[in-house]
Amino acid sequence: MDSTGTSTSTSAAQAWRAVVALLYEASDAGMRRAETDRAAHSLALWADLLGSAAQHLLPAGQSASLDDV
């Protein structure tokens, strides 16, 4: 436990969930811009790929929903 009384692994998992959510947000934003900016489509696909891979690294019970991040 750290000085705040929370488990370090819990804090790390919460931070990682935030990273995954940001990657999916970037993917969504890139897809919206893809009609006017073709390069955004490629970046959006990479963000989606990285988000998916990062989500698989989360503990089993925490990867189901990212809505509360």
Cα–Cα distance measured from residue 17 to residue 67, given in angstroms and rounded to the nearest whole number? 10
Q: How far is CA 42 from CA 5, 28, 69, in A?
A: 42, 12, 25
For residue 13, the model assigns a pLDDT of 85
Residue pair 23/54 in contact by the 8 Å Cβ criterion: yes
For residue 36, the model assigns a pLDDT of 92
Cα–Cα distance measured from residue 41 to residue 64, given in angstroms and rounded to the nearest whole number? 26
For residue 67, the model assigns a pLDDT of 62
**Predicted confidence pLDDT, tens digits, the chain (69 residues):** 555 555 668 888 889 999 999 999 999 999 999 989 988 999 999 999 999 999 998 887 765 566 665
